[in-house]
Amino acid sequence: MNRFCKTIGTLHLILLLAFLAPASLYATPDEEANIRIYEEAGQSVVNIVSSTVSYDFFYNPVPSTGTGSGIIVDRSGNIVTNFHVIEGARSIYVTLFDGSKFNAEVIGTDPGNDLAVIRIKAPLNKLRPLVFGESSALKVGQKALAIGNPFGLEKTLTVGIISSLGRTMRATNGRLIREVIQTDAAINPGNSGGPLLNSDGKMIGVNTAIFSPVGGSIGIGFAIPVNTVKKIFPQLIKKGYVSRPWLGITGQSIDAADAEVLGLGSPGVLIADIYRNSPAEKAGLRGSSRNIRIGNLIIASGGDLITAVDGSPVKSMDEFNEMMDKLEVGAAVNLKILRDGKVRSVSVRLDEMPRGN
């Protein structure tokens, strides 16, 4: 009987210790890694509240606020976030991991990659920069973790995998963002601007958008690769914008069917208009002289048709922009054009793209 009572007492003690013991003692190695990443990287993730002013039908000012996330990247108080998080903001407030709040100023923006840098003046002991990883060697199936502030719920962690690589998505200014990372780690409104992390807790991307018919996560989220951040960050700090080469045209994609109707004989980019004093104007390129209707579409006609850039065929405006982005400001580019039924070659030296284009 005494032995039985001692056994029961021992079981009670074991159960009591199990109840009082920290949950982390029973976490799996994978869960332990998640906890560590959340506790360490979470201190580098901030909550951003931006205030904007719009106008109603009677031109009365209507203030509104938006929320998002951001990533502390250095000890100078620079924070990387999405451009759409702070676009048009009159004021920006940042909340750190310990609840302290600071006003932020916009340092640089790149709408073409949906990225921006803002800065706060905070004590050094409150600035915990996140370590940059590498996005060029990522593989589908690797673990991915997202930290952010979805729907205003601060410091939320979600876990998934890298679902696909090399995606493209369109930025607010119409340009394509390339090499985008797709993940099934839940990303919701408010997660924008927060980090996508690898299993080492290093940043591999900036969460930027979701595809969803219901407005919430259905497991299709997208992140700007960290290598894009590393490439443009110095320019955003130094200039406040990203320097890109500029030809100075607005163009319209002409596919094979359109080319046949227009009698062009080749797909390409039809120059619809040319900016004054642009490299295109100086090189003597011609814009369209009229518009014609093809079914329900209005297509520019009469302008030069660009069919190749430095010997590489071009079939759409997106392809043309991609080729331009690979060139440097001041570079000379050779364009193959079709004008009045004749093929010509035109050399153009590219300028820096003006702000706002």
Nearest CA to 103 among 82, 85, 86, 119? Answer: 119
Q: What is the pLDDT of residue 269?
A: 94
Report residue 262: phi and psi, to 5°. -80, -5
First to last CA, the chain: 88
Architecture of domain 245-352: Roll (2.30)
Q: What is the pLDDT of residue 56?
A: 58
| Percentage helix, strand, coil for the chain under 3-state DSSP, each rounded to 5 | 25, 40, 35
Q: In terms of C-beta density within 10 A (0-12 exposed, 13-18 middle, 19 or more buried), how is residue 309 classed? A: buried
Residues 103-139: b if buried by 16+ CB within 10 A, e if exposed = ebebbbbbbbbbbbbbbbebeeeebbbbebbebeebe
Q: Is 12 a catalytic residue?
A: no
Q: What is the pLDDT of residue 178?
A: 85
What are the C-alpha distances in Å from 34 to residues 27, 69, 199, 351? 10, 19, 8, 48
Q: What is the pLDDT of residue 1?
A: 46
How far is it, in rounded angstroms, from Cα 86 to Cα 81?
8
Q: In terms of C-beta density within 10 A (0-12 exposed, 13-18 middle, 19 or more buried), how is residue 224 classed? A: buried
- pTM given for the model: 0.79
Torsion-angle region of 54 (φ positive above 0: left; ψ -120 to 50: alpha; else: beta): beta
Which of 114, 258, 304, 351 is an active site residue? 114
Q: Give 10-residue mean pLDDT values along the chain (357 residues).
A: 46 50 69 93 93 60 74 97 92 93 96 95 96 95 90 78 90 82 86 94 91 59 95 95 92 86 85 94 90 72 90 92 90 94 94 81
Residue indicated by tokens 């409104």: 189
Q: What is the 3-state secondary structure (H, E, C) of 183-200?
A: ECCCCCCCCCCCEEECCC
Task: State how far Cα 53 lies from the chain centre.
Answer: 24
Report residue 300: phi and psi, to 5°. -65, 150
Give the strand pairing for 203-210 and 221-225.
antiparallel
Torsion-angle region of 265 (φ positive above 0: left; ψ -120 to 50: alpha; else: beta): left
**CATH number listed for the domain at residues 143-238:** 2.40.10.10
Q: What is the pLDDT of residue 173?
A: 74
What are the C-alpha distances in Å from 346 to residues 260, 287, 310? 24, 14, 10
How far is it, in rounded angstroms, from Cα 90 to Cα 236?
20
Q: What is the DSSP letter of 305?
A: E
Same fold, 143-238 and 245-352: no
Residue indicated by tokens 């700007």: 224
Which of 44, 135, 192, 278 is an active site residue? 192
Q: What is the pLDDT of residue 245?
A: 93
Tokens found for residue 250: 């607005």
Return the domain boundaries, the chain. Answer: 42-126, 143-238, 245-352
Q: Is 192 a catalytic residue?
A: yes
Name beta bridge partners: 161: 143
Return the CATH superfamily for domain 42-126. Answer: Trypsin-like serine proteases (2.40.10.10)
CA angle 293, 298, 302 (to 5 degrees): 80
Which of 44, 69, 84, 217 is an active site residue? 84
HSE value, Cβ hemisphere, 13 Å, CA-based, for 37:
26
